Structure formats: C-alpha cells, structure tokens
Amino acid sequence: MRIAVLSGGVGGARFVRGLLAHLSSPAAPAGAAGAEVTVVANTGDDITLHGLRVCPDIDTILYTLGGAVHEEQGWGRRDERSTVAEELAAYGAGPSWFTLGDRDIATHLVRTRMLGAGWTLSQVTAALAERWQPGVTLLPMSDQPVETHVLVDDPDRRAVHLQEWWVRMRAGVPAHGFPLLGLDRAVAAPGVLDALREADVVLLPPSNPVVSLGPVLAVPGVRDAVRGTRAPVVGVSPVIGGAAVRGMAEQCLAALDVPCTAGGVAGLLVDLLDGWLVDDVDLDATREDLSGTGGRGGRPETVGTDLLMRDVAGAARLAGEALGLALRLAGRDAA
Amino acid sequence: MRIAVLSGGVGGARFVRGLLAHLSSPAAPAGAAGAEVTVVANTGDDITLHGLRVCPDIDTILYTLGGAVHEEQGWGRRDERSTVAEELAAYGAGPSWFTLGDRDIATHLVRTRMLGAGWTLSQVTAALAERWQPGVTLLPMSDQPVETHVLVDDPDRRAVHLQEWWVRMRAGVPAHGFPLLGLDRAVAAPGVLDALREADVVLLPPSNPVVSLGPVLAVPGVRDAVRGTRAPVVGVSPVIGGAAVRGMAEQCLAALDVPCTAGGVAGLLVDLLDGWLVDDVDLDATREDLSGTGGRGGRPETVGTDLLMRDVAGAARLAGEALGLALRLAGRDAA
C-alpha cells in the first residue's frame, strides 16, 4: 500500500505520526504491513535567518517522527535552549522576532552548508532524515525556493514574509493575499508527482489550507496530479466549530473571504476531495455547505468524527479513520 | 602616545589586557592618559568550519579585552556550552576535531553573514568590537584570507590547515614548513601600515614567532613598516628556559631548525628589534646568543624580568616593563 500525504508543519506532522502508529497497530487494515508513506512537505514557510536556511515544516516533521520534537510546543527540539539567539541579540543582529534554538541551529548549519555545496533541498532533506529515521519518504514540495509572503496594509511595505506576519505581527495585521515568491521558477521535487500519481491513497492532513497545503498544491503539476490520481483523496478539516485547532487558518481564510468553517475549507479543496473528515459538531453544516458542489466524482463524502489529536493514540485513531474512509471509497469505486 | 602591537591569540591578548591595565594605573608613564593602542591581529589561524568563518585570534582578543573570555582556557567564552557541536556530531557533520561553543557560534554567524553581504573583515571586526569595547583599535592583518598550512609527512596529504595540525594532530606530526595560502593576494588591512609607521612605540607580545607573528609580518609591507618605523620596537620572548609558555612554539621552531630559546626566537625578529625582554633565567644565554647580531640599530637591548603573566596584574607589570624599555630606548635615541 502506497500512501501519499501533503503536509504543513505541526498538524501534518502529528497526523503522519498517528498514521504510522495506526499502520503498525492491530487496527491496521490489510496490506498495511509493508505500507510506504511519502510525505510532501510545504516549503513556503522557509526563510533565511542569520545566513541560515530554515525549513520549519520539514524540521517539524523530522523532529516529530524522529522522537525529538518539543511535544507541548509542537515544533522545535525538546530540551532546547537559546544561547546562540541571546548572543546574536547581544550583537544587535536581527531579526529579533524569530528565535532559533541551539539544537535547531545545528540542523540549519548542516542544511545551509550542504545547499551551499550544491546539494538540492531534496538531497539535504534525505541526508537529515538519515539521522531522524522518520519512517516515511520525506520530500520537499520543490527544490527551488518558494517563499510565501503576505500582502498587508503598510505604507512602507506592501508585503512581508509569512514568518514575519505570523511571528512578529502575530497575524494581527489584516492580510489581503499570499503571493508565492519564486513559484514561477519552481518545479515539483523529484518523486513528488510520481508519489501522487502512483499512490493507493492520498491524504490531506489538518494543515492550513491557504499557507500550508496552498503552496504545495500551487507547485506546477501538483494540483493536477492530485486531481488526476486514481487513488481516493481524503482530507481532514483543520477547523472545528468555526475555529482553527491551531495556527493562523482563521486569519488566512479571512484574507480570502472564505468562511472559517469545515465547509469553507473544503470549498478550497473540492476539486480534489473524494472524502472529507470533519468534527462531529460540524457534520450537518458541512454537508449543507457542500450539497451543491461537484467534487472529484460528485459531492465529497463527508464524515464526522472527533478531530482533536490529543496524543499519539488520538492521532492514530484519526489517521485510521481517514485511511479507512479512503479505503472504503476505493472499494466503492472498485465495486 | 600611540602604541602599535602585533598579536597572536592568548599570549598577545593577555599582554594587551595587561598593557591597558598598566596605562590606566598609577605606574603609567607620562602621556599614558590619552594613549591610543592599535592591535594588528594574526588571521592566519582563520578557518571555515560548518560554513562559518572563524577568526580565533581576533575573537580571543575581543573576548579577553571585553571581559568575556574563558579565563583558565585563555580562549573562547566563559560559561560556554557545546550543544550545537554535539548536534552537528549527531548529524555526522565534520570535522569532529574542532568544537565550536554555542556562544562563540553567534560571533561566527554574525561574521559570516556580514562577510557574505560584502563587508570586509576589517569592517566586520569593527562591528563586533562595538559589542566588546576592547579599548583598542583592533585590525586584522589583512582583509584577504591568508591561511597558515603545515607541511607534514603524510603520504596522502602534503599539507594540512594549521588548526588541523594543532587541534587534531596535537602537533605530534613533524612539520617542515608553514606556507601561507592566499598570501600572494593579500595586502595589509586599512590602517595597519600607518599604525606601525606613525606609532610612538611598537610592541611584539609573547606570541608564537612562527605561526602568530610570522603571518602578520609576512603580509606585504608589514615587516618593512616595522623595520622602518621611527618608534622603538620591543619584543617579549614567548619562551622561558627552553620551553614555550603555552602553545606550539617548540614544534614550530623545530620545523625551522631554530633552537627553542629566547635567543633563537630573537634571531627570527632581529632585524626589527630595538629591545628584547626575556626571562631572568634566559638573560645571560640570550645576550651571548645575540652578541654577534646586528639588530635594527646594533644589537638589541636585552633585559631580563619575570615573564610569566599569572594574572592581569602580572601582565600589567610585564607590559609596563616592555613599554618602559621602549621609552627608555626612545629617550636614548633622542639624547
């Protein structure tokens, strides 16, 4: 069984960790034993700070699957310190609004050095994965830099990097759009399109639909590959009861005049979805929202469950439900 | 009073710290109140590690004069950790024989980023000095990279970087020479030659004559500027009783077939020296060694004292004796 997942940071990483736990559990479906999971990670959050190339979503996935993540925070390393960042601040070296942890900096040093020596981001990611043994094939969406910026109302600057909008401005400045700088020169990284085309199941975890899944799907060929895959495509809503479980989906959806509801998010993905997993509290409203839509092969099958991933077991249960829905849809198509 | 100092790392940094203490003490000579000290630092030890540009002697001087040095060790930061280095090792990112401290890494990040943005090493050093307020004008010997390598007996590699010879090989492999890579493209950094020409006193601290003072003096124009300055030039022996006080002077002198004695070291500098400060135990032998030499204006005046800098007060006493000897020689010339 080949499973392809498009992923942002924390939500995607936790979902994939749950998926791997489910696949090796007694509850796993037939064929799960040798399942191969490919994760295509968003790199639109990437940023160069202090000369270091930082890939937040890739690192969150590696640290989470490698057992090294700061569990409460959801990103960064456990047992982390910020000695280097404090020293950088003492030199007045900006930006001051983004703090890199000491352990984390080693990852960025290795990556920056390898990129400088001519390795591609795919190759660097594979090299970093040798340490973390994530149990999946982790691919960046593209080897070319694509950086998500945010159009804001600022007389001095029309656009800021997503990280600056999120971390420094705390998404408190209204956004009007999310241009992807570098997208015109980007191609899907090696293996990305094949993984989507040849998958038996495609899963979209509860990642931000605008600035996490959005950049991945915007890479030339990716959206078409998901739309055209023979595999069932099942997504998980990142919104429960009108609020994002975490992150900045609310502010991002507002910028696009999309309601912050499970149905609103599904509307952004409706050309891709065979199945849509929402929280029980949202089931009726979402079905109502989607009643007039087309989906890939008609209206996406919308199913309600408990969407909160409280721990690894909870994430395994959720991933199992998404996978189960996908396999059920595949069986229905086959029947 | 303008004082110019050529300096390597630990010995030079401690000597200059003593000099500043002496200049602000009751024992200071007339004219010391507004004394301007310019330190020209060896950059032959510089090395790029993990993509970071490391300037060991400049940093040792900044940390020592800025009150942040690891006092017992003589270099690096006080209260230092090696979290980043441990993580780099966990990635298998070499070299493993050189450990960068966490606090220290911030200095290298700032420097590397600024160099990458087009600043010269002189400008970067001045920017770093804004934090450390060393109380001197600190100049690199050259803005161009000059790296000291070591010719060794190794069937695979004829030459290694000085840091590798010293740190990894612990100077246990015989050296046959110290080529300075990049020297052909190096010019003295802005201000270096003027500082030497216009000085009232030139001091050579107890730094390694081969791989610390050697590279500085090898930069085109520097040796001539010291030789031609109207100021008295006084050096301090790094050797006591046939042994280097610290560092690798013994192994370096052996490579050049120069005896590891105060007289042997003076022989390498004799075209520059008006005065030579040695330990009391070496006074007679050194005078004997130098009896046949010429020096700048005849045989250098050799004076004995207690050369060990046990603490800042001891370094102040030693620097005071070197300065006093220089002023005495200047007075003799003026008389």
Per-residue pLDDT of chain A (335 residues), as tens digits, is 999 999 999 999 999 999 999 999 999 998 888 899 999 999 999 999 999 999 999 999 999 999 999 999 999 999 999 999 999 999 999 898 999 999 999 999 999 999 999 999 999 999 999 999 999 999 999 999 999 999 998 888 889 999 999 999 999 899 999 999 999 999 999 999 999 999 999 999 999 999 999 999 999 999 999 999 999 999 999 999 999 988 899 999 999 999 999 999 999 999 999 999 999 999 999 999 999 877 676 789 999 999 999 999 999 999 999 999 999 999 876 65
Query: Considering the domain boundaries, does residue B147 fall inside one?
Result: yes
Determine the pLDDT at residue A145: 97
Query: Considering the domain boundaries, does residue B62 fall inside one?
Result: yes
State the count of interchain CB pairs (< 8 A) between A and B.
85
Residue B61 belongs to a domain with what CATH number? 3.40.50.10680
Angle in degrees, 0-180, between the axes of helices B56-65 and B10-23, rounded to the nearest 10: 30
Q: Which two tokens stand for residue B102?
A: 């966490």
Of B5, B101, B115, the residue nearest B59 (C-alpha): B101
Q: What is the mean pLDDT of residues B270-286?
A: 97
Determine the pLDDT at residue A247: 87
Strand A239-240 with A243-244, pairing: antiparallel
Cβ-defined contact of B131 to A92 (cutoff 8 Å):
yes
Q: With contacts defined as CB-CB under 8 Å, which chain A residues touch B116?
A: 51
List pLDDT tens digits, range A249-280: 999 999 999 999 999 999 999 999 999 999 99
In the predicted structure, residue B64 carries a pLDDT above the cut 70 = yes
Q: What ipTM was estimated for this complex? A: 0.93
Nearest residue of A to residue B132, measured between CA atoms: A91
Query: Considering the domain boundaries, does residue B171 fall inside one?
Result: no
In the predicted structure, residue B296 carries a pLDDT above the cut 80 = no
Gap between the terminal Cα atoms of chain A: 19
List pLDDT tens digits, range B122-179: 999 999 999 999 999 999 999 999 999 999 988 888 899 999 999 999 998 999 999 9
CB A37 within 8 A of CB A244: no
Cβ-defined contact of B102 to A106 (cutoff 8 Å):
no
Q: What is the mean pLDDT of residues B15-22?
A: 98
Cβ-defined contact of A91 to B131 (cutoff 8 Å):
yes
In chain A, the percentage of residues whose pLDDT exceeds 70 is 98
Query: Considering the domain boundaries, does residue B238 fall inside one?
Result: yes
In the predicted structure, residue B294 carries a pLDDT above the cut 80 = no
Q: What is the mean pLDDT of chain B?
A: 95
Query: Considering the domain boundaries, does residue B172 fall inside one?
Result: no
Determine the pLDDT at residue A154: 82
Q: With contacts defined as CB-CB under 8 Å, which chain B residues touch A90?
A: 106, 131
Determine the pLDDT at residue A157: 81
Determine the pLDDT at residue A156: 83
Nearest C-alpha of chain A: how many angstroms from B1?
31
In chain B, the percentage of residues whose pLDDT exceeds 90 is 90
Q: Which two tokens stand for residue B171?
A: 């100077």
Q: Is the Cα dihedral B14, B20, B25, B30 positive or negative?
A: positive
Cβ-defined contact of B84 to A92 (cutoff 8 Å):
no
List pLDDT tens digits, range B211-254: 999 999 999 999 999 999 999 999 999 999 999 988 899 999 99
Query: Considering the domain boundaries, does residue B318 fall inside one?
Result: yes
Query: Considering the domain boundaries, does residue B58 fall inside one?
Result: yes
Task: Find the domain containing A128 and state its range.
Answer: 2-154+157-169+174-334
Q: Is the Cα dihedral B128, B132, B137, B142 positive or negative?
A: negative
Nearest C-alpha of chain B: how many angstroms from A86?
8
Interfacial residues of B (vs A; Cβ cutoff 8 Å): 50-52, 81, 83-85, 87-88, 90-93, 102-103, 105-107, 109-110, 112-113, 116, 128, 130-131
Determine the pLDDT at residue A298: 75
Determine the pLDDT at residue A244: 93
Number of domains in chain A: 1
Determine the pLDDT at residue B18: 98
CB A249 within 8 A of CB A212: no
Per the document, the length of chain B is: 335
